[in-house]
Amino acid sequence: MCCLYSRPAPLGSVLCTNDNAKAHDPRPFPDWYRSASGPAGGSRQRSRHRVQSGLLTDRVPGQAVMAELLAVRERDAPRSRLGRVFGLDPLTADSRPWYTGAVGELAVARVLARLGPEWTVLHAVPVGAGTSDIDHVLIGPAGVYTVNTKNHSNQRIWVAGRTLMVAGTRQRYLPNAMHEAARAAKLLSAAAGLAVEVTGVLVFVEPKGITVRERPESITVLSDGQLLRWLNRRRPVLTPEQIARIVAVAALPGTWHRQPAAPGDAIALQRGFAALRTEVGGLDDGGRHGRLPSRPVSSLLFSNFR
């Protein structure tokens, strides 16, 4: 192994300015903007029966992939009673990637839950015109970050400049993460009426190792175990006023998506995913499904962060 990504170089950032954008007059900045969406403070006491506001602060970690997973499950043929008795895998080739993705996003959300109350964290942010979403958007004194989560448990990651391989297979994760950060910078800059720099971070969940021959130019590659320390070591670059202004527009679905959909039922998704987790039975078969956190999924979702 050449080097573990324990001391990443300073990130390149994507800067977008919009000279024609009208100045945004930020509304009062209530406490829940800081904490309810993020990992600290008020999010711990947030009731799971709270009436949804329609803001992105209501979305839970992994919401988009859990919704797709349960939709795929509805189309799959149910396991027979005999299949359940003999432990037939409840995940099909179609549903398994969505399940693994949901597990990964929940694992990273648990890490982000340890950030301080000065951070706002948005999860599963719908973006563009279709079904794409950003796994996590972080806004705090150290800047604005898009976090792209990849669940490749117990696999080796190799990085050299623009090339990234997982278990020897080349992946397009780096250009995708760059595009995600660039788009976020453009959208937030236009909505906030100021130039917003957005840094892209690619986070792998419990990899066997991350070998870096040459660091990517504008994306930082980390494991979930390195993420918190890396964020806490970033120097402040935003004032409280700038943070408030960015958070106020980032919480609005229309900032990100051309045709925002009605809020989904996060509690129903939580229950459906928890039921599937019970069926899967916490399988750990070398990463085929992705390793599940040891705590119940309900404790990882929005209303019950620890």
pLDDT tens digit string along 189-248? 999 999 999 999 999 999 999 999 999 989 999 999 999 999 999 999 999 999 999 999
For residues 75 and 79, give the distance between their C-alpha atoms in angstroms, rounded to a whole number.
Answer: 12
- In order, the DSSP letters of 27-59 are PP--HHHHHTSSSSGGGGT--TTPPP-SSGGGP
**pLDDT for residue 26:** 34
Task: Please name the amino acid found at residue 167.
Answer: A
Tens of pLDDT along 79-138? 545 445 445 567 888 888 999 999 999 999 999 999 999 999 999 999 999 989 999 999
Stretch among 34-43, 123-132, 141-150, 167-176 having the lowest mean pLDDT: 34-43
How many CB atoms sit inside 10 A of residue 24's CB?
A: 15
